[in-house]
Structure 1
Amino acid sequence: MKFQIIKNLFWLSIAFNSDQTQAFKPKSDFSVNLERVRYCQEFWCLQQDTPSEYQAWEVEGVSNSRQLHTQIARVQSPERDNVKNLVFVAAGQQPPGNGAENSVTGQRAGYKKDCGVLKKSCSRSIDGRSLARQLLDSEHFPTDETFLAIAFDTQFNQMISGNEKSRIEKAYLSWLKSKAYASNLETIYLAGSSRGGCLVMRLAKAMRADPDFRNIRTVVHSFDGVCKWTQNELGVTSSFHRNPMNSRYLSYYTDLHTQFPYKDNLYLRQLTGGAEVIELSGVHSFAYTAQDTDLGWYSQRWVNLDHTSIGRDMSQDVRNQTVVPFLQHLDDVL
């Protein structure tokens, strides 16, 4: 009898995992309208404009250059009174050129081509294998109740000053808060890759510091998030943990227990590879613990993947180590 029960549970487990894998399979690509926070009104760019939608960047004093190159897609934008879910997904720092692909946002390589500073917006495609594309069909985030935005280029770059980073963070924070009334919100979901991972962690920390937003269920997913230790971003220090799967990789330590004192309804998750972002740069992701861990409010998983693979590779083998576990975590906590 006991053997039969165990056998039944085994097959139920197999069926459940199969159903989950099926649910997280790639979907069709999705078209979005990619907007610039600021754009040039004529060829020489002597006349520029920041649309009313993005006035937070002007109010917070973000430099014109950063505004010009920030590109965001508002994918779902219901009336503020109706918003119960606030969702923001951010790519990592963009290299010189026409833009890099990203497995979190779903943006494709070359998305900047023919979409220069003279264009207020451009139509672009979201890859069906990405985390962002999966969110669009999620039962957790109904279209009529969810504000959902994707930043292809946040301009929250590693080498800019700490003061400029603070201004950019405040702009995103103010803008996102303007999309919903805290009293109506049920879930805040933030996800980011590399520098985008640092940005969403900082945004979550700032929201948790606001009593109006503090107790709202908040889920934050960071894909090898990178914060600058010489600026003590998110409390990151020069101490580090080595990747237990690959001792050549390391991630700088930060005490996330201290960074997030209010842990009710908080679910942070960091995927950590720890490979150097650019060779000889000394830039690595952050980590709280030396081993895989699950503390309820914080979970962390090490992977033996380089930084570029974590942020850009959408092959099924890599996706099963990156995007899919995050989607499973989202299902678990919601």
Structure 2
Amino acid sequence: MNNQIIRILACWVFFWGSIQAKAFEPKSDLSVSLERVRYCQNFWCTQQATQSEYLAWEQEGVSNTYQLYTQIARVRQPEREDVRNLVFIAAGQQPPGYGSESAVTGQGDNFKRNCGISEKSCSRSIDGRSLARQVLDSEYFPADDTFFAVAFDAQFNYMVNSGEKSRIESAYLNWLKSKAYASNLESIYLAGSSRGGCLAMRLAKALRNDPDFRSIRTIVHSFDGVCKWDQNEMGVTSSFFRNPENSTYLSYYTDLNAQFPYKDNLYIRQLAGGDEVIEFTGVHSFVYAVEDINLGWYAQSWVNLDHITIDRDMYPAVRDQTVVPFLKHLEEVF
């Protein structure tokens, strides 16, 4: 009898594992319209206009330059009264040139090529291996009641002054709030890598500080998120913890317990590598704890991967350490 029970359990575990593995397999790539917040109306760009969809950036006083280079895809947008789930995912800071790929948003290398500042929108695709594509296909965010947006270039850049960052954050915050009625919302999902991880965390903090949004189930996923310690972004300090898997990597400390006093229905997951983002700059990610922990409202894990690999690599061996654990966390909190 005992052997029979063991065989049944083993079969069940194998079957369930196969289902999970299949659920996390890459999907088909998805075509999206990548929109520019502001665009040039003539060749010399002496005439510009902010698109009506993104007037929050104009209203918050975000500079024209940052508006011009902000590129967002609205993947799903039901009527406001129908929205029950709010999803926003942001890539990391884009290097000079035509843009880089992201394992989080699913954008491809050179996505800016032939999509200049005079173009209101361009057709692009979201990679089927990415977090964004997997989340989009999940059962937790149905198409008919989920507002889903992805920022290929959020322009929430590291060297931007703190005042401008606050204006950019407010623009995203007010824009997202305009997509749903708080009384109807059931969940909010925010995710990002590198500087996108900092933006996701700052937006989560702002929403948690708003009584209307405070009790809504909020999931935040940060992939080696980078906030600027000498601006005290998200309370990040110059103190640091070394990566227990690679002592040459380090992440700056922030007291997330203090940053998020309202923890009911809050689920943060942070992945940290701690590699220096750009050599000799002292730019690193941030963390709350010295080791892997799971406090319920906050879970953290270290990986021995460099920053660029975490941000961009979608090969299976890397994806199993980055994207897949976040998908599993999403499954756990739902």
Equivalent position of 1:54 in the other structure: 54
Deviations 1:192-249 (A, max 9, x none): 0000000000000000000000000000000000000000100000011100000000
Secondary structure of 2:73's counterpart equals strand
Residue equivalent to 2:65: 65
* Equivalent AA in structure 2 for residue 51 of structure 1: Q
Deviations 1:126-172 (A, max 9, x none): 11100111122111111110000000000000001000000000000
Q: In structure 1, how many angstroms separate the alpha carbons of the residues matched to 2:328 and 2:205?
A: 23
1:140 corresponds to = 140
CA offset digits 1:36-62 (Å, max 9, x no partner): 000000000011000111000001000
Q: How does 1:175-324 map to 2 (within 5 A)?
A: 175-324=175-324
Q: What's the % identity of the aligned pairs?
A: 71
Rounded to whole Å, the distance in 2 between the matches of 1:264 and 1:112 is 40
Q: How many Å separate the matches in 2 of 1:10 and 1:267?
A: 31
State the TM-score, normalized to the length of structure 1: 0.98
Per the TM alignment, residue 5 of structure 1 is displaced from its structure 2 partner at its CA by: 3.7
Hey, what does 1:115 align to over in structure 2?
115
Q: CA deviation at 1:7?
A: 4.7
Question: Which amino acid is the alignment partner of residue 39 of structure 1?
Answer: Y
| Partner amino acid, structure 2, of 1:18 | S
Deviation at 1:3, TM superposition (A): 5.4
What one-letter code is carried by the residue in structure 1 that aligns with 2:29? Answer: D
Whole-Å Cα distance in 2 between the matches of residues 319 and 157 of structure 1?
A: 25
- After superposition, the CA RMSD in angstroms is 0.9
What SS does structure 2 have at the residue aligned with 1:324?
Answer: helix
129-138 or 256-265: bigger deviation: 129-138
**Corresponding residue of 1:171:** 171
Give the Cα separation in 1 of the matches to 2:14 and 2:287. 32
- Residue type of the alignment partner of 1:87: V
Once residues 133 and 232 of structure 1 are traced to their aligned partners in structure 2, the CA distance between those partners, rounded to angstroms, is 33
Deviates more, 1:19-28 or 1:64-73: 19-28
Normalised by the length of structure 2, the TM-score is 0.98
Q: Structure 2: any 5+ residue segments left out of the alignment?
A: none
Q: Distance in 1 between matches of 2:156 and 2:45?
A: 22
Secondary structure (helix, strand or coil) at the match of 1:221 reads: strand
Look up the equivalent residue of 1:240 and give its one-letter code. Answer: F
Shift of 1:4: 4.6
Instruction: Please give the alpha-carbon distance, in whole angstroms, between the structure 1 residues aligned to 2:149 and 2:291.
Output: 33
